[in-house]
Amino acid sequence: MVVLAAVVLPIAAQSSPAAGSNTKSQKVTGIVTGTSPSSLTIDEGKGQEVTIHTAEDYSDRIPLGTQVTAWHHQQGEMQELDRIEYPLELSPSNPREFVPKIKKVILLPSSDAGDATEFYAEVERLLESRFNWVIAHRMLAEEIRRRDSKARGVKPGKVVRSSESPPAPLEPASPELIQKVAEGTRADAVLEMRVEYHLLQVKSHTAEWDGQRETFGTTGSRIASTITLRPVKGQVPAATVVLKLFDRQGQFLWSNRRGFRLLTVEVSGGFRDRPLSEALADAPFLAGWLNQVFASWLSPGSKPSAAGSKN
């Protein structure tokens, strides 16, 4: 699998072992040979494998065969993940091979981070204006997914989240659903777009996640935090966008995972929620963000860059 691009600034101090452990963090670089909702298996080479327990499910983020670098420590009888670096953009081929072949595309959207309707529309406008693709109406894809879920006896869940825990992860589209959407809309390709809600652990007024870096809080509060040596600690909500492109047979063509914006802002006396619609209203930021996401399509000859990181 060819890594096209993956730029992320690592979160500060993420290589230190978890509280309660008296062992130092160890570094391993190798190929992912196994994943589960709570573990990763990495082949270091020469037949040496290490299985690391993870607090998050990386199954949908890191395909088998992906090269990663991970830091881990001994916690009881298990190896516990401290930090991992992996490519945030993947493709089995160069975009110049598949972009010219696509004439019609449809978006298959989902969001648990708020109303992302305008977000979907902005992505569609970019695809139409930059690549001259015909854009099928996304409601057709949503209806096909609804019928598919009903046929499988799956009822759409209600998004429930709180300040302590994020909502249940969005379900990735299956190859079978991708094929149904492509056939039902006569599209050459299906672009799955998931806008995901995450709670980030922060220890200062800067949050870094999935290739994004955002400083929050007023200037006064940041200065006061520095002077008093009392940095912000806790969780802040944020949105990450996962994009996956498939051909009409459901074959994977390309994926990109990139943090978007924090979903909170500091105000006098505390914090308030920042709706996704408010974050999308920053037109210059949105335009720059979209150019980053689709950079390898716009400049197909560009070389891969450094791997990304994730706590």
What is the per-residue pLDDT across 155-172, written as a single tens digit (0 to 9) for each?
A: 765 555 555 566 778 889
Q: Is residue 225 part of a domain?
A: yes
pLDDT at residue 52 tops 80: yes
CATH code at 22? Answer: 2.40.50.320
Torsion angle (degrees, nearest 10) of CA 66, 67, 70, 75: 50
Structural domain containing residue 12: 2-87
* Least reliable range by pLDDT among 10-19, 45-54, 124-133: 10-19
- Same domain (yes/no): 149, 275: yes
* Section 279-288 average pLDDT: 94
- Same domain (yes/no): 83, 125: no
Indicate the pTM of the whole model: 0.81
37: number of Cβ within 10 Å: 11
- Same domain (yes/no): 97, 202: yes
Q: Is residue 143 part of a domain?
A: yes
Final residue of a domain: which of 29, 60, 87? 87
Give the total number of structural domains in the chain.
2
- Same domain (yes/no): 101, 222: yes
Q: What are residue 21's phi and psi, to 5 degrees?
A: -105, 140
Q: Between vectors from CA 14 to CA 9 and to CA 19, what angle results, nearest 5°?
A: 165
- Same domain (yes/no): 120, 181: yes
Q: Residue 85 has which token pair?
A: 């670096």
Give the model confidence (pLDDT) of 29-50 as tens digits: 999 999 999 999 999 987 789 9
pLDDT at residue 220 tops 70: no
**What are residue 24's DSSP bridge partners?**
none
Cβ contacts of residue 38 below 8 Å, gap of 6+?
53, 54, 55, 57
- Same domain (yes/no): 96, 31: no
Q: Residue 245 has which token pair?
A: 């492109």
Nearest CA to 288 out of 255, 254, 261, 310 is that of 261
- Same domain (yes/no): 59, 109: no
Pairwise pLDDT comparison (234 vs 258), residue with the higher score: 258
Pairwise pLDDT comparison (14 vs 100), residue with the higher score: 100
Q: Residue 201 has which token pair?
A: 């652990």
According to the per-residue pLDDT averaged within each range, which of 21-30, 49-58, 210-219 is highest?
49-58
- Same domain (yes/no): 109, 237: yes
